[in-house]
Amino acid sequence: MKFLFQFLPLVALLCFDFLFAQVQETKTVNLMGSVFQITVVDQDSVSAKKNINKAIAE
Residue 54's alpha-carbon distances to 9, 30, 47, 48, in angstroms, are: 40, 15, 10, 10
Q: Is residue 45 part of a domain?
A: yes
In a domain, 44, yes or no: yes
Q: Is residue 25 part of a domain?
A: yes
Per-residue model confidence (pLDDT) at position 27: 95
Per the domain annotation, does 5 fall within a domain? no
Quick one: pLDDT at residue 1? 58
Range of the domain at 57: 21-58
- Neighbouring residues of 53: CB distance < 8 A, sequence distance ≥ 6: none
Number of domains into which the chain is organized: 1
Encode the chain (58 residues) as per-residue pLDDT tens digits.
Answer: 566 567 667 666 666 655 667 899 999 999 999 999 999 999 888 999 999 999 999 8
